[in-house]
Amino acid sequence: MELQSILYSQGFGTRRVCAGLIQQGQVMVYPHPGAEQALPCTDAAANFELQDFRFRVQGTDWRYAEKAYLMLHKPAGTECSHKPGAYPSVYTLLPAPLRQRPQKGGLQGVQAVGRLDQDTTGLLLLTDDGQFLHKMNSPRHHVPKTYAVTVKHPLQARQIQALLGGVVLDDDPTPVRAQACDQVSDMQLNLTLTQGKYHQVKRMIAAVGNRVEALHRFQIGLLTLPKNLAPGQWQWLDPSDLQLVKTATQV
């Protein structure tokens, strides 16, 4: 693929902008997968193999990815929306190319796989793979998500039993159940859900007579938020990370 087209596909702007970056000497390429040093390239039409291709734009290293799969440690006080209301968007935590990757159907950039409330922290997946996004969000696939829940009042055994047995929310007469509910302390439990209703964790806890004080999602499928990924930081999902999600969810 031509270098200009590679940059365009990775979100570095229009084809004209990408050609300009190359011609201005802002782009360097690694000549082979194991290369330690990037070399200048000012030919926008230069062709490169895409497998394991790495390049540098304005001093930052990138690798070619046909589809982007990311994890983000969502901090509190952010919204999972491109057009947020009272709080900053989580998308501002990502570099511009990830927000500008071209997509079909009028969409642009990576999209969050589901949403977390502004005060909820933890593991958030983002991708520009529409099929993966659809399957992960589909209720038919029962994607398990695990939350660390801190409550206002000491937990009681009957509350744990009710969460596992099923509680009725005000918008649906069908009981919703936790797949797993493990009490960690008097004021904290780990709750695993396979549904994604609006404010579901908070409403389930309220339905058993308690209140959520803090909510943190630390696992999706078999993928766990890395302890060394600080709030506000992101990283690529490597193939093994992606497999942890797909295997557990049968996506």
Q: Catalytic residue among 117, 128, 172, 186, which?
A: 117
Q: Verify whether residue 171 is a known catalytic residue.
A: no
Q: How far apart are CA 165 and CA 96, in angstroms?
A: 45
Q: Say which residues have a Cβ less than 8 Å from residue 42's Cβ, sequence separation at least 6.
A: 22, 23, 25, 27
Q: Would you call 91 exposed, middle or buried from its count of C-beta atoms within 10 A (0-12, 13-18, 19+)?
A: buried
The amino acid sitting at 12 is F
How many Å apart are CA 237 and CA 109, to the nearest integer? 16
Inter-CA distances, 40 with 8, 19, 48, 59, 73, Å: 18, 14, 14, 11, 34
Decide: 189 and 183 in contact? Cβ < 8 Å.
yes
Is there a contact between 48 and 54 (Cβ–Cβ < 8 Å)?
no
Tell me how far apart the alpha carbons of residues 241 and 223 are, in angstroms, rounded to a whole number. 6
Q: Supply the residues annotated as catalytic.
A: 117
